[in-house]
A and B are shown apart, each in its own frame.
Chain A
Amino acid sequence: MSELTNTSSDLVLDIENLAVRFETDDGIVRAVNGLDLQIRKGRALGLVGETGAGKTTTALSILRLVPKPPGVVQCDKLELNGRDILTMQTKELEKVRGKEVSMIFQDPMTALNPVFTVGDQIAESIHLHENVSMTEAQKMAIDMLELVGIPGERAGDYPHQFSGGMKQRVVIAIALACHPQLLIADEPTTALDVTIQAQVLDLMKSLRQKYQTSLIMITHDLGIVAEICDEVAVMYAGNIVEMGTLEDVFNHTRHPYTEGLFNSLPNVNDRKAKLKPVPGLMPDPTDLPEGCPFYPRCQYADEKCKLPQKKTYVSDTHFIRCCAYDRPGFHIEREEKS
């Protein structure tokens, strides 16, 4: 078991060996491959990785929202507050969604239903879970709107009357309406400009403190991770290749892919410097290599990388999936910071 956990009762989310594949006409797409993830109460985890790494699919599996067909979800364990999600009855699952775990979706432009008022859309969630009348739910929805910084009298407006940033706040209000124990935010700021981004992040931070919500922040913006997360998991081709506390991953980077991500960040001090991308492309998810999926792009790769990779603990809180450290004296080029 992971040393990231203190006691198992403290766990909000516990995933072991999650695998999601999409069986399409063009072949089987392996989106997530044997992922383990634990989140404790009140903690924030950053899930980073490039597009197609399986971040959103992982999140959707937690809500059992992976479209089926073509999606097939398998795992040894997928527990939310100690209850198994995968075998849960539909009725029970509907009570969990939006109440115990809720999700902020990536694109606020399409995440809201265009034919219902935003007030109704927030109130619906409250009405479903909180055992209150629709009128009361409407009142609570107005409070939620004000909490995310939108005047309450706009509850009767439709999504097309709001700007992108405001729509995202509405989506956040829906997700937080029933004070979930776990909030999954799927690139909540990607569609927003930088000023609004900062506002939305501040908002999420303060709401999280207020309600002690655990958070999974899916993003490819390392700056956001540094700002709000306690722990970081780096995903590549459907699995976590490096995971640890913010300090572990940012300042004691071990995995060559994580190194590549940091190296590709633009240099603020030298704006004319060329960007350094990670060379090559992510492997085709219909045809993943047997060993380390990063090995074709990795500058440190050798023959052993073609074999399946084990989890290796660097410290109590920090693990990687990379066999390069079996070689005596191996280290990546990025300097340690402390």
Chain B
Amino acid sequence: MFRYIIKRILMMIPVLIAVSFVVYFLMDLAPGDIISSMAPQDATEAELEMMREQWGLNGPLIERYFRYLGDLLTGDMGMSPSLRRPVAEVFIERLPATLQLALAATVVALIISVPLGIAAATHHRSFLDGISMVLAMIGVSMPAFWLGLLLIMWFSPLGLPSGGSGTPLHLVLPALALGAGQAGTLTRITRSSMLDVIRQDYLRTARAKGVSEKQVIRKHALKNALIPIITVFGSTLGNLLGGAVAIETVFSWPGIGRLTVNAVNQRDTTLATGCIIMFTVLLTVTMLLVDIAYAYVDPRIKAQYSK
């Protein structure tokens, strides 16, 4: 198990290098650069060149990239020209807000989806099943930013804050908007996974033992149904972090998503690349945690890991 974790962490390194390469080059393809927008309008070419050197943005693209990569490998994420502060510092400052939002959205999604999916499966082909599938479909297909705007339209007249952060109330609308898509996907997978497990012989064994129907579903069926649910949950976390970029902008949430969007808009390559790399780290670590969670749910997978 320990060896497996080490292996997975080492596998992150090439992924991160590839991500940094793609982002850095894509940023360069976009028209305009940060220095010309930072400099005074009457700056001469020589002054611009001096500023570029000061921010480490001089020289050909390849040279700049490898200089960036070299710094990165020694743990230095560089200075952001647009904010005039170290990227790592800004990132850490903004991280809690994003994690808070992602966590709240996940909690919303799980609270809605797992019970709804189980109810839909145990009442297969009933009215409840139909309703929950329609809701799930809406959740999956509705773009998060649009749902965000609708929620603002519906609920801000009722007194719920439509933007900013600070109180738990500020979290309600963005968490709902962000969690809805995840809830839809998870409801569908919970339902289908439970439907599959409900037909298994070992549930009949449990009933024949005298286990109550409630326990049959909650204990015997759910633990088996969790494996596909966890898989999908892991992949929705990626969408969640991606969706956070849009939602943070819609709700002016002071998180990494909005920081990244601003960095891209201002062509702040150092900040944008740094943010996206850290996003990637977060995501791969979460995926690893998801894979470790399998082992705790399914002893057969645990046995494979230790090989």
Q: Interface digits, A97-121 against B, CB 8 Å rule (1 contact, 0 not)?
A: 1110011010100111111110000
Given contacts A105-B201, A160-B299, contact A174 B220 (CB under 8 A): no
Give A102 to B205 CA distance when docked, in angstroms.
Answer: 9
- Report yes or no: A115 in contact with B223, Cβ–Cβ below 8 A: yes
Within 8 A of A (CB), among B129-179: none
Q: Which of B208-216, B236-244, B270-278 contacts A (4 or more CB under 8 A)?
A: B208-216
Give A174 to B212 CA distance when docked, in angstroms.
Answer: 16
- Report yes or no: A96 in contact with B210, Cβ–Cβ below 8 A: yes
Given contacts A114-B224, A125-B209, contact A160 B300 (CB under 8 A): yes
Q: Is A158 among interface residues, defined by CB-CB distance under 8 A? A: yes
- Report yes or no: A113 in contact with B209, Cβ–Cβ below 8 A: no
- When distances are taken between beta carbons in the complex, the residues of chain A under 8 Å from B223 are 115-116
Which of B211, B224, B300 contacts A128, CB < 8 Å? Answer: B211
Q: Is B64 among interface residues, defined by CB-CB distance under 8 A? A: no
Give A44 to B206 CA distance when docked, in angstroms.
Answer: 25
Which of B202, B204, B208, B220 contacts A98, CB < 8 Å? Answer: B208
Q: Is A83 among interface residues, defined by CB-CB distance under 8 A? A: no
- Report yes or no: B299 in contact with A95, Cβ–Cβ below 8 A: no
Which of A90, A97, A160 contacts B209, CB < 8 Å? Answer: A97
Which of A99, A112, A129, A175 contacts B202, CB < 8 Å? Answer: A112
Q: Is the interface of B mostly helix, strand, loop or mixed?
A: helix
Tell me the minimal C-beta distance from A79 to chain B in angstroms.
Answer: 18
Tell me the minimal C-beta distance from A73 to chain B in angstroms.
Answer: 15
- Report yes or no: A94 in contact with B208, Cβ–Cβ below 8 A: no
- CB-based nearest A residue for B198: A67
Q: Is B46 among interface residues, defined by CB-CB distance under 8 A? A: no
Q: Is A20 among interface residues, defined by CB-CB distance under 8 A? A: no
Which of B201, B208, B297, B298 contacts A110, CB < 8 Å? Answer: B201
- Report yes or no: B299 in contact with A111, Cβ–Cβ below 8 A: no
Give A235 to B178 CA distance when docked, in angstroms.
Answer: 60
Give A63 to B297 CA distance when docked, in angstroms.
Answer: 30
Which of A94, A111, A114 contacts B212, CB < 8 Å? Answer: A94
- Report yes or no: A115 in contact with B208, Cβ–Cβ below 8 A: no
Give A171 to B298 CA distance when docked, in angstroms.
Answer: 20
Within 8 A of B (CB), among A185-209: none
Give A181 to B114 CA distance when docked, in angstroms.
Answer: 40
Q: Is B303 among interface residues, defined by CB-CB distance under 8 A? A: yes
- Report yes or no: A114 in contact with B208, Cβ–Cβ below 8 A: no
- When distances are taken between beta carbons in the complex, the residues of chain A under 8 Å from B303 are 160-161
- Report yes or no: A171 in contact with B205, Cβ–Cβ below 8 A: yes
Q: Is A124 among interface residues, defined by CB-CB distance under 8 A? A: yes
- Report yes or no: A98 in contact with B209, Cβ–Cβ below 8 A: yes
- CB-based nearest B residue for A177: B209
- Report yes or no: A114 in contact with B299, Cβ–Cβ below 8 A: yes
- When distances are taken between beta carbons in the complex, the residues of chain A under 8 Å from B209 are 97-98, 102, 124-125, 128, 174
Q: Is A65 among interface residues, defined by CB-CB distance under 8 A? A: yes
Within 8 A of B (CB), among A83-98: 90, 94-98
- When distances are taken between beta carbons in the complex, the residues of chain B under 8 Å from A96 are 210
- Report yes or no: A97 in contact with B210, Cβ–Cβ below 8 A: yes
Q: Which of B200, B202, B208, B211 counts the most A-chain CB atoms under 10 A from its CB?
A: B208
Q: Interface digits, A256-272 against B, CB 8 Å rule (1 contact, 0 not)?
A: 00000000000000000
Give A334 to B204 CA distance when docked, in angstroms.
Answer: 41
- Report yes or no: B298 in contact with A114, Cβ–Cβ below 8 A: yes
Give A114 to B203 CA distance when docked, in angstroms.
Answer: 11
Number of B residues contacting the other chain (C-beta, 8 Å)?
A: 21
- Report yes or no: A114 in contact with B300, Cβ–Cβ below 8 A: yes
Q: Interface digits, A202-243 against B, CB 8 Å rule (1 contact, 0 not)?
A: 000000000000000000000000000000000000000000
- Report yes or no: B224 in contact with A107, Cβ–Cβ below 8 A: no
Given contacts A115-B224, A115-B297, A160-B303, contact A105 B210 (CB under 8 A): no
Q: Is B218 among interface residues, defined by CB-CB distance under 8 A? A: no
Q: Is B67 among interface residues, defined by CB-CB distance under 8 A? A: no
- When distances are taken between beta carbons in the complex, the residues of chain A under 8 Å from B210 are 94-99, 125, 128-129
- Report yes or no: B208 in contact with A113, Cβ–Cβ below 8 A: no
- Report yes or no: A63 in contact with B208, Cβ–Cβ below 8 A: yes
- CB-based nearest A residue for B204: A65
Tell me the minimal C-beta distance from B201 to chain A in angstroms.
Answer: 4
Tell me the minimal C-beta distance from B129 to chain A in angstroms.
Answer: 14
- When distances are taken between beta carbons in the complex, the residues of chain B under 8 Å from A94 are 210-212
Tell me the minimal C-beta distance from B108 to chain A in angstroms.
Answer: 27
Q: Is B85 among interface residues, defined by CB-CB distance under 8 A? A: no
Give A158 to B206 CA distance when docked, in angstroms.
Answer: 16
Give A303 to B204 CA distance when docked, in angstroms.
Answer: 44
Q: Which of A63, A99, A107, A115 counts the most B-chain CB atoms under 10 A from its CB?
A: A115
- CB-based nearest B residue for A95: B210
Give A125 to B209 CA distance when docked, in angstroms.
Answer: 6
Given contacts A105-B204, A105-B205, contact A113 B211 (CB under 8 A): no
- CB-based nearest A residue for B124: A69
Give A290 to B211 CA distance when docked, in angstroms.
Answer: 40
- Report yes or no: A174 in contact with B205, Cβ–Cβ below 8 A: yes
Give A95 to B206 CA distance when docked, in angstroms.
Answer: 13
Which of A111, A158, A160, A174 contacts B201, CB < 8 Å? Answer: A111
Give A40 to B208 CA distance when docked, in angstroms.
Answer: 22
A residues near B (Cβ < 8 Å) are: 63, 65, 90, 94-99, 102-103, 105, 107, 110-117, 124-125, 128-129, 158, 160-161, 171, 174-175
> Can you give 8 A-B contacts (C-beta < 8 A)?
A63-B208, A65-B207, A90-B213, A105-B201, A113-B220, A113-B224, A114-B300, A125-B210
* New contact pairs (5) apart from A90-B213, A111-B202, CB-CB < 8 Å: A65-B208, A97-B207, A113-B224, A114-B224, A115-B223
CB-CB nearest 3 A-B residue pairs = A98-B210, A110-B201, A97-B210
